Amino acid sequence: MESLLAASSSLPAAAFSPALLSPPSSSPHILRTVTGAAGAAARAVRCAAAKDSILYALEHDEMFNSAEVIQWESGKSINSIAAAQGIRIRRRCRPRYPSEGSGADKAVPRNILEQIIWDKEVEVSQRKTKKTLQNVIESSEHAPPARDFIGALTAAHGRNGVPALIAEVKKASPSRGVLREDFNPVEIAHAYEKNGAACLSILTDEKHFQGSFENLETVRNSGVKCPLLCKEFVIDIWQIYYARSKGADAILLIAAVLPDLDIKYMLRICKNLGMTALIEVHDERELDRVLKIDGVQLIGINNRSLETFKVDTSNTKILLQKRGDIIKEKGILVVGESGLFTPDDVAYVQNAGVSAILVGESLVKQEDPGKAIAGLYGKQLLC
């Protein structure tokens, strides 16, 4: 929410185009006081009389006037607002890496995702001092047009009669350590594409997954034709623009991390950039939140528990039994995530109702990740 307010002076006007905004009131001059939840001094925001100005548009945007923003302005903390939506990942705990230091300076995360998010806050803050939001917005404008991520999944699903594959280029994970020592992202990406992957997922987190935005950019420039998902732990719109500037066609948004307002705002940014947002959920409450948000096209159901990190593929079946009809009515595609290693696993989530699967570990650990795709499906995929 702070990101939405702070970014207003840097965002292009398209982000607040009339077609996306609520009708403005008759008042030509607005004076509004905005206060941060952490006790920051009040800031006055004066909107110009010109009705095409970004600040005027913000003042009359339903997003800017949402319940979450009003609560934040009233002094309620971001963590409190998020907790009311069932979000258990706390935010803004330390100005430096929380895992460093000792005693009272060392924060203790509740789970690995919270640890990753705390570290990501520090990383993004540091990156923004080197390259501002305006810089990455300008860079994103020079990127080639985004490729049709959902179109590629739909075509592959129809072509093969099985869930389309988003194959993940992944060197390591917090739970498994290094998955592949001889890691060459370009070779792996081309092997995946050659063997029928519809899209590719590129890990960009450095601290916990040994990925990078450089890997994303290198794969994009290597001649791979598959649309690319930037597998990043997004907490700030800066990351979305930066991913687009590096060649991403889609981005991951995690409902366990992002309040509803952030998801809505980031969906708007993605739409303006021509990108697809894969919104990941873990449980029924997160799924219900996401289904109430307009503009969602792609939902990923992660079978890995945030609390225990254990995997149970029945999570996909249970959630789709409960909410499958609503998902179909909305025309949303579902991606199955985690715990998929065999043809039986793929068949199980396919019967549950998924149109695509996202798989990394079971492929990248094999001697030939590309050929491992046939083993995963029990047959060769048509390209």
The residues assigned a catalytic role are 168, 170, 231, 280, 302, 337-338
Only one residue has tokens 């499958």, namely 324
Instruction: Give the span between the Cα atoms of 382 and 160, in whole angstroms.
Output: 6
Three-state DSSP class for residue 193: helix
Q: Which two tokens stand for residue 264?
A: 């809505």
In this structure, the dihedral spanned by the alpha carbons of residues 221, 360, 276 and 129, taken in order and rounded to 10 degrees, is -70
Instruction: Give the span between the Cα atoms of 262 and 382, in whole angstroms.
Output: 38
DSSP 311: B
- In a 13 Å sphere around the CA of 337, the CA atoms on its Cβ side amount to 21
Backbone angle region of 339, left / alpha / beta, with phi > 0 → left and psi within -120 to 50 → alpha: left
Please provide residue 304's backbone torsions phi and psi, each rounded to the nearest 5 degrees. -95, 125
What number of residues does the chain have?
383
Positive/negative CA dihedral, 168, 171, 176, 182? positive
Three-state DSSP class for residue 231: strand
Instruction: Give the span between the Cα atoms of 297 and 276, in whole angstroms.
Output: 8
Neighbouring-strand partners of residue 335: 300, 356
Q: Which two tokens stand for residue 337?
A: 């995530």
Neighbouring-strand partners of residue 337: 302, 358
**Largest distance between two CA atoms of the chain:** 66
* CA dist list (Å): 234 to 120, 154, 178: 8, 25, 23
Amino acid at 46: R
DSSP state letters, 260-287: HHHHHHHHHHHHHHT-EEEEEE-SHHHH
* CA dist list (Å): 155 to 136, 161, 199, 373: 32, 10, 11, 18
